[in-house]
């Protein structure tokens, strides 16, 4: 991490308003409680330079999500949706905040919005399956689990989802 911080600082010394460097350095700083304040300030600087820089809102939203600051998380994810109403990651993030705060209907709404944008986005399917199963709605979870189990060409980091979905299907079958 120290090396990456050093490189981003060097880049910012040359071009202090480089949004990618500000965003990436800010995101690195958010990973430590001792530098989180600096990270927030860098991400806010990104937004002061360009209020449409979605990555900064996303990183701030995720940071506030990890701190259980639901109001700030919602504010940042909603900023993304205002700028890009079909942003699947932001729709999933909003759903996650609503789920964490016990607002299952709103969570479902945003997961379904994400699913409408990309019916094969694995994390949307995973989260919606869990929401339906936890809500006692196996009939809604089953077709989604079937779809997830049949997805091919998943990125390596999502490879486990096919087997998970197959196991979930067995559990959900009447």
Confirm whether pTM is higher than 0.75. Answer: yes
Collapsing DSSP states into helix, strand and coil, what is residue 132? helix
Burial class (CB in 10 A: 0-12, 13-18, 19+), 30: buried
26 alpha-carbon distance from chain centroid: 17
pLDDT at 146: 93
What is the rounded distance in angstroms from the CA atom of residue 107 to the CA atom of residue 101?
9
Per-residue pLDDT of the chain (174 residues; tens, 9 = 90+): 789 889 889 898 999 999 999 999 999 999 999 999 999 999 999 999 999 999 999 999 999 999 999 999 999 999 999 999 999 999 999 999 999 999 999 999 999 999 999 999 999 999 999 999 999 999 999 999 999 999 888 888 888 988 899 999 999 888
pLDDT at residue 46, rounded to an integer: 97
Secondary structure of 10-61 in HEC code, one letter for each residue: HHHHHCCCCHHHHHHHHHHHHCCCCCHHHHHHHHHHHHHHCCCCHHHHHHHH
DSSP 8-state secondary structure symbol assigned to residue 155: -
Domain 1-84 matches domain 85-174 at the CATH topology level: yes
Buried (b) or exposed (e) across 35-50, using 16+ Cβ within 10 A? Answer: bbeebbebbebbbeee
Q: Which two tokens stand for residue 63?
A: 């940071």
Q: How far apart are CA 153 and CA 157, in angstroms?
A: 11
Q: What is the C-alpha to C-alpha distance for residues 126 and 166, in angstroms, rounded to an integer? A: 12
Q: What is the DSSP letter of 119?
A: T
Residue 145, φ and ψ in degrees, nearest 5: -65, -40
- Which CATH architecture group holds 85-174? Alpha Horseshoe (1.25)
Q: Write down the pLDDT at residue 158.
A: 84
The pLDDT value recorded for residue 157 is 86
| Domain 1-84 belongs in CATH node 1.25.40.10 | yes
> Which sequence spans correspond to the domains of the chain?
1-84, 85-174
Quick count: other Cβ atoms within 10 Å of Cβ 34?
Answer: 7
């Amino acid at each position: 991490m120290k090396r990456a911080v050093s490189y981003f600082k060097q880049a910012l010394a040359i071009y202090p308003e480089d949004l990618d460097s500000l965003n990436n350095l800010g995101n690195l700083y958010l990973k430590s409680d001792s530098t989180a304040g600096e990270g927030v300030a860098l991400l806010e600087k990104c937004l002061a330079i360009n209020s449409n820089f979605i990555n900064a809102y996303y990183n701030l939203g995720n940071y506030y999500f990890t701190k259980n600051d639901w109001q700030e998380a919602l504010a940042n994810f909603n900023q993304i949706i205002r700028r890009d109403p079909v942003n699947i990651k932001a729709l999933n993030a909003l759903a996650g905040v609503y789920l964490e705060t016990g607002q299952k209907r709103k969570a479902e709404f945003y997961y379904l919005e994400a699913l409408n944008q990309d019916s094969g986005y694995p994390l949307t399917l995973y989260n919606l399956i869990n929401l339906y199963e936890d809500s006692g709605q196996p009939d809604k979870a089953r077709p989604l689990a079937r779809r997830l189990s049949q997805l091919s060409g998943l990125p390596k980091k999502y490879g486990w989802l096919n087997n998970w979905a197959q196991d979930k299907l067995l559990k959900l079958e009447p």
